[in-house]
């Protein structure tokens, strides 16, 4: 069996995202990813709605949503997830790149959300 190393990183630690606002993680250096599988474990509280997407960069300064990208999740709420408790894991497939950021946007427009997100990369 090969080296199936899974690295995890807490990228949002109980971060409040105000209504109609957004918050973006620090840059994540992807140069040493062994395979290229990604997932986010999300915990959300508050009564707003969160959209989560990724931004990519090859130069470390210009972060873009790729033309072929799909949002990781478009409407995560406190009732999302298998336990309807605001907790879920989302798998996504970003395009090949050296750097990535995760962006959370509150899309409900009336209430804030508080997010904790851990990224796993294999």
Question: For 43, phi and psi rounded to 5 degrees?
Answer: -125, 125
Mean confidence (pLDDT) of the chain: 93
Domains in the chain (CATH in brackets) are 7-121 (2.60.120.380)
Give 99's Cβ-side CA count (13 Å radius). 12
61-96 pLDDT tens trace: 999 999 999 999 999 999 999 999 999 999 999 998
pTM of the model: 0.93
How many percent of the chain have pLDDT more than 70?
Answer: 95
């Amino acid at each position: 069996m090969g080296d199936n190393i899974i690295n995890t990183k807490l990228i949002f630690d109980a971060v409040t995202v105000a209504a109609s606002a957004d918050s973006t993680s620090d840059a994540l250096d992807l140069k040493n990813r062994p395979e290229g599988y990604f997932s986010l474990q999300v915990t959300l509280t508050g009564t707003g709605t969160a959209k989560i997407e990724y931004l990519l960069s090859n130069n470390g300064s210009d972060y873009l949503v790729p033309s072929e990208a799909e949002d990781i999740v478009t409407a995560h709420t406190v009732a999302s997830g298998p336990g309807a408790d605001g907790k879920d894991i989302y798998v996504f497939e970003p395009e090949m790149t050296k750097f990535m950021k995760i962006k959370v946007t509150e899309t409900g427009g009336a209430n804030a959300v508080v997010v904790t997100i851990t990224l796993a990369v294999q």
